[in-house]
Amino acid sequence: MNAQPNFAPARPLKPGTVSLVGAGPGAADLLTLRALNRIRTADVILYDRLIEPEVLDMARPESDLVYVGKEVGHHAWPQDRINARILEEALKGRNVARLKSGDPGIFGRAGEELAILDAAGIPCEIIPGVTAACASAAEAGRPLTERGISDTLVLTTGMCRDGDPLPDAAKHARPGTTIAFYMSVRQAGRISEGLQMRGMAGDTQVTIAANASKAEARHLSCPLDQLAEILASAGITGCATLIVTWPKPATVSPPLPAAEIKANEFI
Amino acid sequence: MNAQPNFAPARPLKPGTVSLVGAGPGAADLLTLRALNRIRTADVILYDRLIEPEVLDMARPESDLVYVGKEVGHHAWPQDRINARILEEALKGRNVARLKSGDPGIFGRAGEELAILDAAGIPCEIIPGVTAACASAAEAGRPLTERGISDTLVLTTGMCRDGDPLPDAAKHARPGTTIAFYMSVRQAGRISEGLQMRGMAGDTQVTIAANASKAEARHLSCPLDQLAEILASAGITGCATLIVTWPKPATVSPPLPAAEIKANEFI
C-alpha cells in the first residue's frame, strides 16, 4: 500500500468510471479495440496474474498499474481487498480499468465487483473478451460445435468457492456435447473417470491447450483414459483448457416425448 | 458469379492463406486487433448476413467483398458453395478472410470449411472472437457464472441441421448452471416449458439480448414462464440471445458418491 498524505484529499463531485475489461486469453492482439481503448484511457489499471506484460505495455506511461494477482488456490489479494481498491479509486474520481483474463463474465468473479459498485452508485461497464475455450480451440485448429456432431458447448471449472463441491461436469456429458474444462488440470483424473463412467469412450480424444495464445503455448491431444498421465508426463500443471467432444451417434434417435423428461433428475 | 475470362489463369505456385475470422457480436470495436489485421490484409473477404457494415468499412478499398449470407432457415448460399468459393480464391493465391459473426468455433460451421481446406492442403488459421453470450451478458450488466450461484455455462442453439432434433437443452438445466440459448427465439415456448418441467422456477428471470452490441440492440428481462409471450409482444423475432441462471441452493448438498452416478442417464 502507498503511504497516505496527512490531509484528506478533496472528494471529487463525480466518481470515476469503472470498466471490467476482458483482456482475452493472453496475446495482446487478441484484445478487442474497445478493451484497448479502456486500457489507454484509464488512470489506474488493476490486473490479474494471468494478464501478459505485452497487454500492460499498451497502457499510457502515466497510468498506475496495480497487481491484484491471485495464485491458484492461494490468494495474494482476497476479493474483498480488490473490491475495496476499485471502489476507492473510483471515489477519487479516477477512471479504473479492471483487467480480467478472458471474458469478465466467465469465471471472472465480475458479479462480486459489480455488486459493490452498484451498492455505491458507481457506474460500471463490462467489456466482453475472448474466452479461453475459444482461443484454445482456435489455436488447436478445431471447432467447439459442429453440425451433426455437437450442438451444445459446456464451459465449466475445476476451481470453486472453498467448501463448495466441484461442479459435476460429467452430468453435462451426453452425445452432441463439447465440454471445455477451465482450471481443471488438478481434477484431470476425476474428470476422466467421471466422463467414462457416464459412457464416454476411453479413446475419445481430448484437446489440451496450455497457455493458449501466449508465447509459451503448448498443444497436445490424448485419449480420455490417459488424460491424467499425459498431463503429468508433459509437466502441464497450471493454466490449461481441456476440450472434449462426445459426438452424436450417426443415426439420430428421436427426442423423448416431453412427458418422459424426469423432473429433478439431478437430485 | 462473375463472368469468367476465356483463358485459364496461370495457377500460382503457392496458394493464398485462409483465415476464419471471428468478427465478434457486431460492433466494430469488439473486433480483436488480430481480426482487424486479417481484414486489412485480405485480398478477398467473404462475409455473413450478421456482419455489420461498420466492420466491412475496415477493409481496404481494393479488397473484394463477397456476401455469402444465409437467412435463418433459408440459405442464399449453401455451405458447399461457400466452401468452394473459399477454396477457389485460395487456389488463385489470394489471401482470404472468411468473416464469421461471434467466434468461428461456436455455431459457426468452421468444421466444414476447415475440412475442405485441409483436404486441399490449404493452410487455414482460426482467429477467435467474442461470442454472443459474452457480449449479451456484458451489455446487460450481468455475469454468466458467479461464485456460489453458477459454476457452469452451457451454450446451445435452436438451429440445427435439417432433420436433426433440436438440442434438448433442458437436460443441461440443473442448479448451478447458466444456459445461453443462441438463435432460439422461435423455440422460446418449448424452452420455457422444458426448463420448468425440469424443475426451474417459473419466476426465474431470463435476460433477453437482441442484436447485442449493435446500434439496434435491445435488452429486456422477463420471468421464464412468460418468455414466449414477452418476446412476441416486444416484436423480437430475429437474432437474440436468451440467458437464464438456475442458482445453486443456499445450502449446498454433498456431491453423490461416484458409484451412484448413473451411466447412460441420457438415454
- pLDDT at position B75 is 57
Top residue of B19, B144, B246, B256 to mutate, by most chain A CBs within 10 Å, is B144
Distance from CA of A79 to the nearest CA of B (A): 11
User: DSSP per residue over B82-105, as a string?
Assistant: HHHHHHHHHHTT--EEEEESB-TT
Q: Where are the domains of chain A?
A: 18-127, 132-246
Residue B265's pLDDT band (boundaries 50, 70, 90)? very low
Q: Assess whether the region A18-127 and the region A132-246 belong to the same CATH fold.
A: no
Cβ–Cβ gap A148/B138 under 8 Å: no
- pLDDT at position A159 is 67
Q: Helix count (H) and strand count (E) of chain A?
A: 7, 10
User: Cα(A120)–Cα(A18) distance, rounded to whole angstroms?
Assistant: 12
Q: Is A14 a catalytic residue?
A: no
Distance from CA of B208 to the nearest CA of A (A): 16
Strands A218-223 and A152-157, how do they pair? Answer: unpaired
Residue B33 CB contacts under 8 Å (≥ 6 apart), including other chains: A28, A29, A30, A31, A32, A33, A36
CATH class name, domain A18-127:
alpha beta
Residue B14's pLDDT band (boundaries 50, 70, 90)? confident
Percent of chain A beyond pLDDT 90?
Answer: 71
Distance from CA of A3 to the nearest CA of B (A): 33
The arithmetic mean of pLDDT across residues B136-145, rounded, is 97
The arithmetic mean of pLDDT across residues A66-88, rounded, is 81
- pLDDT at position A263 is 32
| C-alpha torsion angle, residues B141, B142, B147, B151 (rounded to 10) | -140
Please give the span between the terminal C-alpha atoms of chain B, in angstroms, as a whole number: 47
Instruction: Extract the C-alpha cell encoding B58.
Output: 475496415
pLDDT digits (tens, 9 = 90+) for A225-263: 999 999 999 999 988 999 999 999 875 444 444 333 333
Annotated catalytic residue: which of A43, A48, A100, A103? A48
Nearest to A24 by CA among A59, A48, A41: A48
pLDDT digits (tens, 9 = 90+) for B199-248: 999 999 999 999 999 999 999 999 999 999 999 999 998 889 999 999 99
For the whole model, what pTM was predicted? Answer: 0.88
Instruction: Say which range, A161-175, B147-161, B193-207, has the weakest mean pLDDT.
Output: A161-175
Question: Does residue A182 surpass a pLDDT of 90?
Answer: yes
Q: Please give the residue of chain B at the shortest CA–CA distance from A32.
A: B32
Task: Compare CB distances from B105 to A125, A137, A152 and report the shortest one's residue.
Answer: A137
Instruction: Extract the C-alpha cell encoding B189.
Output: 415456448
Average pLDDT for chain B: 87
Question: Does residue A265 surpass a pLDDT of 70?
Answer: no
Residue A9's pLDDT band (boundaries 50, 70, 90)? low
Exposure string of A191-214, with b = 16+ CB inside 10 Å and e = fewer, is bbbbbbebbbeeebebbbbbbbbb
- pLDDT at position B158 is 76
Percent of chain B beyond pLDDT 90?
Answer: 72
ipTM: 0.88
pLDDT digits (tens, 9 = 90+) for A18-32: 999 999 999 999 999
pLDDT digits (tens, 9 = 90+) for B76-112: 788 899 999 999 999 999 999 999 999 999 999 899 9
Question: Does residue B262 surpass a pLDDT of 60?
Answer: no
Query: Who wins on pLDDT, A66 or A72?
Result: A66
Reported as type and span, the H/E element at residue A232 is: helix A227-234
Query: Who wins on pLDDT, B125 or B253?
Result: B125
CATH topology of domain A132-246: 3.30.950
